[in-house]
């Protein structure tokens, strides 16, 4: 790969930010960020993963230019089961830097990484660059870019460019989770069940489960087990038989589903329940999606519970003036002007538990009629 002239990370970051202004859903955000990044940091294959910030499990994304299906069971086992490789997602989130090249993390000794040995090398791939999409202290996604064996590895400048892209891309991905949420029709009111084999193929799939899987915000090759399913299967298998793993995933039309998985040691199969997320399950995720400080989040929760300024001040042992100052910051961040607007926006747009009396679909979304 011929050397390129010095690239300006700030310019690339601005280009990404401008390109993401009209982006809507999470897949759009990932594709537009990659479109800007690839000319500056080339890759042979790439994928963009959306993760549940509470569990760090894959919940969708863009995978059509990513890894083949043959390596995915082992990849998810390393990533979500063993969790101990040098650049695993759970190690990356503990670092200050948002981007990391496997060649640098292994000090040039790629063979010391089992991820390289088991995933990259069999595919004639060498170096991998991971870009953590982190905003507001929470991780919302991950970009993964790989280069072929025999080409130059990712340089320090490549990592610097990718790190600059991470900031605007993460903010856009977080904001994409706050769009939509209004349903114009009806949806099934119950979860479906799927049974997954050791190799992550489907052993059984109910029609209702198929309905929910088809709604996941994930692009992949037809016929493949969704990555959101493979991720939670690997996570469940790493635990005790019968222990339940849980994750949440965004749907293409702005709704949410919850996945529960548990495995049986006798058969080696994993059972998954997938269905509409209950309003209460989404409260923490939606509040995390706004860039609130810890204190702003506390005050927002109390406002949503109907507490007055005086009651909030007493509960948090602060003055009423301090509460008002925090509320002003909350209003600015949510784009509202009053408590009433805040309740309308967060409650009615994002389905908190107190919505029981509203006219909702069975997955907690407002009916348009």
Kindly write down the DSSP assignment for every residue of 278-303, as one continuous string: PHHHHHHHHHHHS---HHHHHHHHHH
What pLDDT does 366 receive?
Answer: 39
232-263 CB burial, b ≥16 within 10 A, e <16: bbbbbbeeeeeeebbbbbbbbbbbbbbbbbbb
**Dihedrals φ, ψ of 50, to 5°?**
-95, 135
What pLDDT does 14 receive?
Answer: 82
**Dihedrals φ, ψ of 25, to 5°?**
-85, 175
Q: Name the residue ranges covered by the structural domains of the chain.
A: 9-176, 182-279, 290-367
What pLDDT does 188 receive?
Answer: 61
Residue 83 tokens read as 């969790």
| Cβ proximity of 48 and 33 under 8 Å | yes
Which secondary structure element, helix H or strand E, spans residue 233, and what is its range? helix 227-237
Quick: pLDDT tens for 240-269.
887 888 888 888 877 778 898 988 877 788
9-176 shares its CATH topology with 182-279: yes
Residue 42 tokens read as 């080339």
Please tell me the number of Cα atoms within 13 Å of 326 on its side-chain side: 22
The neighbouring-strand residues paired with 99 are 131
CATH topology of domain 290-367: Arc Repressor Mutant, subunit A (1.10.10)
**Do the bridges between strand 245-250 and strand 256-263 make them parallel or antiparallel, or are there none, so unpaired?**
antiparallel
CATH topology of domain 9-176: Beta-Lactamase (3.30.450)
pLDDT band at 352 (very low <50, low <70, confident <90, very high): very low
Secondary-structure class of domain 182-279 per CATH:
alpha beta
Q: CB neighbours of 158 closer than 8 A, spacing ≥ 6? A: 41, 101, 129
Q: CB neighbours of 29 closer than 8 A, spacing ≥ 6? A: 20, 23, 169, 172, 173, 176
Quick: pLDDT tens for 93-145.
989 999 999 999 999 999 999 999 999 999 999 999 999 998 867 888 999 99
Which secondary structure element, helix H or strand E, spans residue 193, and what is its range? strand 192-196
Distance between CA atoms of residues 61 and 16, nearest Å: 18
pLDDT band at 45 (very low <50, low <70, confident <90, very high): very high
Q: Over 80: is that where the pLDDT of 353 sits? A: no
**Do the bridges between strand 58-62 and strand 45-51 make them parallel or antiparallel, or are there none, so unpaired?**
antiparallel
pLDDT band at 344 (very low <50, low <70, confident <90, very high): low
What pLDDT does 155 receive?
Answer: 94
**Do the bridges between strand 202-205 and strand 192-196 make them parallel or antiparallel, or are there none, so unpaired?**
antiparallel
The neighbouring-strand residues paired with 273 are 193, 260
């Amino acid at each position: 790969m011929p050397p390129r002239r010095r690239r300006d990370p700030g310019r690339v970051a601005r280009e990404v930010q401008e390109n993401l202004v009209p982006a809507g859903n999470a897949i759009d955000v990932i594709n537009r960020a990659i479109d800007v990044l690839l000319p500056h940091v080339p890759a042979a294959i790439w994928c963009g993963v959306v993760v549940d910030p509470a569990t760090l499990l894959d919940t969708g994304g863009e995978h059509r230019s990513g890894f083949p299906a043959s390596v995915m069971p082992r990849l998810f086992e390393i990533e979500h089961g063993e969790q101990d490789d040098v650049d695993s997602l759970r190690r990356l989130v503990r670092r200050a830097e948002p981007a990391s090249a496997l060649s640098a993390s292994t000090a040039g000794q790629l063979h010391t990484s089992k991820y390289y040995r088991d995933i990259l090398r069999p595919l004639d791939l060498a170096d991998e660059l991971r870009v953590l999409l982190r905003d507001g202290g929470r991780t919302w996604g991950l970009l993964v870019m790989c280069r072929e064996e025999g080409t130059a590895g990712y340089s320090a400048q490549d990592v610097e460019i990718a790190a600059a892209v991470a900031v605007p891309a993460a903010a856009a991905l977080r904001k994409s989770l706050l769009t939509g949420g209004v349903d114009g029709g009806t949806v099934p009111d119950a979860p479906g069940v799927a049974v997954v084999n050791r190799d992550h193929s489907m052993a059984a799939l109910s029609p209702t489960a198929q309905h929910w899987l088809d709604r996941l915000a994930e692009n992949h090759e037809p016929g493949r087990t969704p990555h959101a399913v493979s991720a939670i299967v690997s996570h469940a298998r790493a635990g005790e038989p019968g222990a339940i793993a849980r994750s949440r995933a965004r749907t293409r039309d702005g709704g949410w589903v919850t996945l529960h998985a548990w495995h049986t040691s006798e058969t080696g199969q994993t059972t998954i329940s997938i269905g509409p997320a209950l309003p209460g399950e989404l409260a923490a995720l939606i509040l995390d999606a706004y860039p609130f400080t810890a204190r702003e989040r506390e005050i927002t929760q109390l406002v949503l519970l109907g507490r007055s300024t005086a009651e909030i001040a007493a509960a948090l042992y602060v003055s009423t003036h301090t509460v008002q100052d925090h509320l002003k910051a909350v209003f600015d961040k949510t784009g509202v002007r009053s408590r009433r607007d805040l309740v309308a926006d967060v409650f009615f747009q994002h389905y908190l538990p107190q919505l029981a009396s509203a006219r909702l679909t069975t997955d907690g979304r407002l009916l348009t009629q």
